[in-house]
Structure 1
Amino acid sequence: MSRTEYLNDPNAPKANSIVVAVTAFVLDRQDRVLLIRRTDNGLWALPGGAQEFGEYIADAAVRETKEESGIDIEVDGLIGIYTNPNHVVAYSDGEVRQQFSICFRGHYLGGTPQPSDESSEVRWVPRSDLDSVPINPSMRLRIDHGYENRSSPYIG
């Protein structure tokens, strides 16, 4: 299924769903951030996805990171909660989802980056290379907040 993201676009379709989703900001020992190249839109992103029934929200971040990247993490903090109603994602099946994403800080435990059905590439990206990688502005905001090491989480 393909997806199209709209951010502050007055011509964006109206949202018809909200789904609790997570992303994980994870750094390796060289201060590089873990990114996946999404198969549904070709953009680079933090690993993440929807919470499942019966699952704690932090466990969703651990599971999604492992599924999409092959990397094992432990959640050890909160980067922020991202709920911009002007950021919607339209899916090819007709769902138009308003953003509701919780970004966690994850501690790298191990594993080797490997793609999945949802990621065509996985790699550790140096901060200095982020401007040359195609990333949605909403995702880039989370990455920038992760590197800022804020004293309190972003809420917006």
Structure 2
Amino acid sequence: MHTMEATLKWLDWAKQIQGIAQTGLAYTKDVYDKERYEQLRALSLEIMGQYTDVESSKLLDLFAGEYGYATPKVDIRGVVIQDDRILLVREKEEGEWSLPGGWADLLLSPSEIAVKEVREESGYEVKTLRLLAVLDNHKHNPPAPYHAYKLFIHCEITGGKAQEGVETSGVAFFGKNELPRLSQSRNTEEQIKLMFDLLKNPQRIPVFD
């Protein structure tokens, strides 16, 4: 088996083990089963640590606090385009660029998350216009320890000004063919260019996996 294919297969297995462990911990009443599910979770984290660049402490944060039936996480990105240029922010964590956004918060709707993330990461106030795409990170982004659905929401600037946030160190607009180095786990070049194409055709229905 090709090295990359083998790596992805092991990562898929680790995610499945994690999902089984999380769901089992949510529903088991047996103390011995609980211990076994905890062992499965620890095993899945060990496997993920071997095949990803995520530190073990961060892997633990990602999964140790997850309860209930195992489901994909939700990542929401605000898409703002002005004069054929798209708004991107530079992530402090790795110095690469992405659409403003992040994990969905409890008690907030997808639109509210998009508005919040754009404001906090870029300084701009926006209103949401329409859903552009729902993509599966397992199909489009580099291997990651978590499974996530990525929602891309078209937003329009209503106020504010470019301003760095707690997690960002740059705010700028870029043309379709002049994109900077992107944070691949957050958004790929193909995804960014898809946003340009979708916004050129307002009648096109949202793209989804």
TM-score normalized by the length of structure 2: 0.60
Greater relative CO, 1 or 2 (CA 8 Å, sep 6+) = 1
CA 1:32 to 1:10, structure 2 compared with 1: closer, same or farther past 3 Å?
Answer: farther
Map of 1:64 onto structure 2: 117
Larger CA Rg, structure 1 vs 2: 2
CA 1:122 to 1:103, structure 2 compared with 1: closer, same or farther past 3 Å?
Answer: same
2:58 is the alignment partner of 1:11: no
The aligned runs of 1:44-123 (5 Å cut-off) are 44-86=97-139, 87=141, 96-123=145-172
Map of 2:23 onto structure 1: none
* Superposed CA RMSD: 2.3
SS in structure 1 at match of 2:93: coil
SS in structure 1 at match of 2:188: helix
Q: Which has the larger share of helix?
A: 2
Partner AA of 2:76 in structure 1: V
Map of 1:4 onto structure 2: none
SS in structure 1 at match of 2:7: coil
Which runs of 5 or more structure 1 residues have no equivalent in the other structure?
1-7, 91-95
Say if 1:27 and 1:108, in contact at 8 Å, map to a contact too: no
Counterpart-to-counterpart distance in 1, 2:190 and 2:153: 13
Partner AA of 2:181 in structure 1: P
Partner AA of 2:118 in structure 1: T
Q: Which has the larger share of strand?
A: 1
Map of 1:38 onto structure 2: 91
Say if 1:79 and 1:145, in contact at 8 Å, map to a contact too: no
% identical aligned pairs: 23
Counterpart-to-counterpart distance in 2, 1:38 and 1:9: 29
TM-score normalized by the length of structure 1: 0.78
Aligned length: 141
Counterpart-to-counterpart distance in 2, 1:76 and 1:56: 14
